[in-house]
Structure 1
């Protein structure tokens, strides 16, 4: 039974209280990657030591990226024995953070909630000698001086000199040394490349909600925007950076949470999400250095943050130690605002803080359009240029398909080469595999807080989706499904290998084949309907897509997922593009709007289907009906039918035409009487008229 004063349950042994059990979400905000709370239950004994932690409920789409839930559970169980007294003394950083690669946000949230909730309970109950925190430490309390027109504007050098701007500068040598001291042999074997003195990151921070600091660094107009953006009691820090390491990373683009930085003050940790984030284009101070990242983060009023007290910004530095594994170390950037920005106010007698049940608060994001995505595109300019070049080439092939498909051998090897690029370059190297989850997330974003800047933050995915949208209007789903889908390319290439080894190919009877088509549409509609109820649940069931296992994770996954992929690829050895034909929800999602396509450039003869069935029999996905018409919802635009359309050795119509031409040429060579154009009395050019007989 819960206590009346605090939401904990007493743990008894022989009738004596030996500890307390509670949910972390009853004391602190536990919003995870999914935007929903992560509920963990933990126990604390009378000596302020954690006796156990259990993951109770979460909405994290862990399986979406292939992380077994057992790994997350294993990490949470390791918190048994955590000493909260040591954590209180160290500000929550007395223990090592055990990160699961691919679930960084989730683990950081769980770690933070365990430490903060544990400390709140321990202090409230006086466990281990810890005392309750007070709202203030005396009859006066410091606060930031209010803004006004008489606030002086300084410069960068002055602010850096008096501590208003604090910096953390790390070179490559320092980072490599830190990983060596951490003792992970995998990380030691993979040092950061470059000279030891080269800059790894130069990160600087300032409290821009302080009027003088804010006006100096942001300028009057941007500072006015900032004050309008902040609600009463909220603060803001400016974080700028340069060097080879980004303090933001790219995880927030998908999950909305910045997983590389967090603000720590005492036992309070503040994580930032995309709704607490605002980007600026430049600094107003003329003597300010140049930075590649300039970002403002909002600290909400209910976070417990006091801008007049010392705090630190913790930077998480990661290093890849395998195909999907990473290891991490942290560095701290300390900050204390100079006293000249604060003033003392009399306050009432301090009262003990009481735990409050916290809920998620939706904060409207009113930030301006970001310039950051331009810098991200510049950082990935090589990949962007290569992808755009590939799309230009592919577009040219479709615009001039009749000229290209005249050459059967060239068309075949061009397709093999392009599919290889799609699989190896676009898929396994660049992770450019689209998913039905993208479609579901897009619809969710449209109905909630749509932001173009979030989509622009991933250049390759944005370009691919833009090309898909254009190709749907021009030609239908086949351009992506037939040429740009890495898993589709994997299926087709493995089938080509199967044919080399004479593995028999099975043609599904048309009646059965046609009735199997709707399966993928039902799968998509089921996922779409489920996403309206719960996007997280829909993401879990979207595992019917094998893309993550085969392409994103490169088969580095549990055996059930690998077995599923092997079964699909195995079926594809006998029935080409088996998954694309009958199961793919992404293909179904693209086929529905593709009915609006404007062009139908695949040429047919009136003899196609009756009597000729050559194209229908050779179509790799059996998208041609027995009567000869092509089903645009199923066609993958491989252009093989256009090769046959012009083949003088395979197409009966072309064979007949060629026979007529040959007969005509033969007659012209053997007939002694040359044809005469009507009404001219003159022979055709290039012929020899029969000479008149002599008189």
Structure 2
């Protein structure tokens, strides 16, 4: 019988045969000839003529997701670069497997239809974007921002590769990079004479002429009153070559640019200085986002232009008019095909309003052509990797700052454990920290760790998937770093006792049970010890499934209630809610029952106790024999009858530390005080 079951499991676990490309084509199109070895096919219209291209993103842009495997998306593109279809083919993103389901991801992909690769597509919200902005915003998926960004980067990289090779007649490949060893003496005069610094001047009369014949003509009184005044006086400098950057930036700004370049070596930084009335961005612009009045194109394709969030100070040798002008540093991503040695266009949008209430916005584009000589760059070689992780870090900069400060405070408090445990308000301090963990780290930051991540790491290391996907969720990565550091210092207690949002929810549930007068169930030692084995068994089952039956690994990972309780806020089908909520109800009578039994992540943390370097909980010779007070009061059963601490089961609640240092509770201290009193009386 067991052999039959094993054969059935192997058959189900076998990879499904790939669906033929022809089955993906939607009417009225038909599949043409295969054009490349990477799976790019021609798309034919009903008359048999070439109508576009169809391809899968997997072979062209194998950007790994959180499972270590890429998201594979079908893209149909017409000859003008308009998306006909974007359809999900395969993925293993945990949040979409059984958390939110695939529907939100499919709805996100449906937004590409009808849009063009010539549009500046951005995932997010239109912060600071006016009505005339060229940016096209695609609505992301709440609680799945990183996965959606990976999907967007995959579509963008694969589609632009096809467009450059097939639609523009340009071979897609690694772009040239600035040569760090190229050095030449440059000053302001040399920059200006060689065209390394480009200038664009537009008078009020010229901008008025651009709006002539429209309802926005004459809508700018300042332009009418001063026709020879400058509406735009723009200086643009490509800061990629170090020699050019040294000639235009102050030493402090140059150092900041070097730090940014070290973090993001694929970014090309562009300095803009504007001394006219345009001002570069609108009044609602938010730093570190895509500028609403600026854009860039190369070969007719949009470039991803973003603010670099660097407050630039200019070199003192630059003329005075520029020193007091508006300054801004932008960045362009060379990984998506931007070539600074070929002509590209910096586009500035000039806007006007017509009407008082709900005014209509009119605009015209002002363009400046940019390029740099090839002597400043290295010839491209090899394949350029596409880790788009810096945007994820910048998008959560404030959250990461708050998280870092919070972790620093927590580490400082726990390092002074004796004073913390002896504080008369310690219970309130602990519950306040746990409430913050649930609210900020859990619900807001989505930093609930899961066993899915370590399994993905193992698969990435053993199957060559890489670990770059971890950088797409920097918030959780910082929590992981803190948890690992805690393993070295204290054991599992830092994460399981202080940083796990679902564990904190169980602790609050137990306090609620006490308030409601429910019984406090303490299972028999034999049952408690047996329950400890359920976690390692669950962990072993998950690891085995991930390698032998990978298509079901994410489903089996639902043994963790974290996704239901924290990620989706219990907004899931009733079996998942019953599972996650049931453990919270059980915790009202059995203190943190899930943490102490079935949790596979807890089992991994227990194994990580091997990293712990010291025994940090103080003990006395009387602990365990004859005194059993700490063991009796330990709600985790983490103290052996002989008095030793089982650190692999300790959640760092500090209750035993409180007893140990309190002369009113610790039995050896009480007896010592009494003995001292008797000696004095004698």
> Does the TM-score normalized on the shorter chain lie above 0.5?
yes
Q: Does 1:72 align with 2:105?
A: yes
Change in Cα spacing, 1:248 to 1:60, as seen in structure 2 (3 Å) is farther
Q: Does 1:479 align with 2:497?
A: no
Q: Does 1:566 align with 2:581?
A: yes
Q: Does 1:496 align with 2:511?
A: yes
Shift in Å, 1:603: 2.4
State the match for 2:55 in structure 1.
23
Shift in Å, 1:504: 2.2
Q: 2:152 aligns with which of 93, 108, 114?
A: 108
**What value does the CA root-mean-square deviation take over the aligned residues?**
6.3
Which SS does the other structure have where 2:588 is aligned? helix
State the match for 1:388 in structure 2.
408
Distance in 1 of aligned mates of 2:384 and 2:475:
28
Change in Cα spacing, 1:446 to 1:334, as seen in structure 2 (3 Å) is farther
Q: Does 1:310 align with 2:344?
A: yes
State the match for 2:269 in structure 1.
238
State the match for 1:299 in structure 2.
334
Change in Cα spacing, 1:41 to 1:486, as seen in structure 2 (3 Å) is closer
Which SS does the other structure have where 1:597 is aligned? coil
CA contact (8 A) 1:153 1:216 kept: yes
Change in Cα spacing, 1:428 to 1:8, as seen in structure 2 (3 Å) is closer
Change in Cα spacing, 1:611 to 1:311, as seen in structure 2 (3 Å) is same
CA contact (8 A) 1:433 1:485 kept: yes
Change in Cα spacing, 1:74 to 1:436, as seen in structure 2 (3 Å) is same
Superposed, 1:185-224 pairs within 5 Å as: 206-208=237-239, 213=244, 216-217=247-248
Q: 1:164 aligns with which of 181, 185, 198?
A: 198
Shift in Å, 1:9: 7.0
Superposed, 1:308-457 pairs within 5 Å as: 308-311=342-345, 336-338=368-370, 361=383, 363=385, 384-396=404-416, 398-400=417-419, 404-405=421-422, 410-424=425-439, 426-428=441-443, 433-436=448-451
State the match for 2:9 in structure 1.
none
State the match for 1:603 in structure 2.
619
Shift in Å, 1:577: 0.9
Q: 2:602 aligns with which of 578, 584, 587?
A: 587
Query: Which TM-score applies when normalising by structure 1?
Result: 0.58
Which SS does the other structure have where 2:648 is aligned? coil
State the match for 1:506 in structure 2.
521
Superposed, 1:30-45 pairs within 5 Å as: 31=63, 37-42=70-75
Change in Cα spacing, 1:521 to 1:46, as seen in structure 2 (3 Å) is same
State the match for 2:633 in structure 1.
618
Shift in Å, 1:473: 3.7
Which SS does the other structure have where 2:639 is aligned? coil
CA contact (8 A) 2:304 2:333 kept: no
Change in Cα spacing, 1:547 to 1:663, as seen in structure 2 (3 Å) is same
Distance in 1 of aligned mates of 2:651 and 2:628:
18
Distance in 1 of aligned mates of 2:198 and 2:550:
43
How many corresponding residue pairs? 548
Change in Cα spacing, 1:342 to 1:12, as seen in structure 2 (3 Å) is closer
Change in Cα spacing, 1:548 to 1:163, as seen in structure 2 (3 Å) is farther
Shift in Å, 1:494: 1.2
Distance in 2 of aligned mates of 1:445 and 1:61:
15
Change in Cα spacing, 1:262 to 1:336, as seen in structure 2 (3 Å) is closer
Q: Does 1:56 align with 2:89?
A: yes
Deviations 1:481-531 (A, max 9, x none): 223433322211111111111222322232232122233334445666788
Shift in Å, 1:313: 8.5
Distance in 2 of aligned mates of 1:57 and 1:553:
22
Change in Cα spacing, 1:91 to 1:133, as seen in structure 2 (3 Å) is farther
Moved more, 151-160 or 626-635: 151-160
Distance in 2 of aligned mates of 1:342 and 1:529:
53
Deviations 1:584-627 (A, max 9, x none): 3443333334343312434256473x777654443212223345
Moved more, 494-503 or 587-596: 587-596
Change in Cα spacing, 1:571 to 1:204, as seen in structure 2 (3 Å) is farther
State the match for 1:256 in structure 2.
none
Distance in 1 of aligned mates of 2:490 and 2:63:
43
Shift in Å, 1:638: 1.8
CA contact (8 A) 2:452 2:554 kept: yes
CA contact (8 A) 2:287 2:309 kept: no
Distance in 2 of aligned mates of 1:342 and 1:649:
79
CA contact (8 A) 2:314 2:323 kept: no
CA contact (8 A) 1:9 1:21 kept: yes
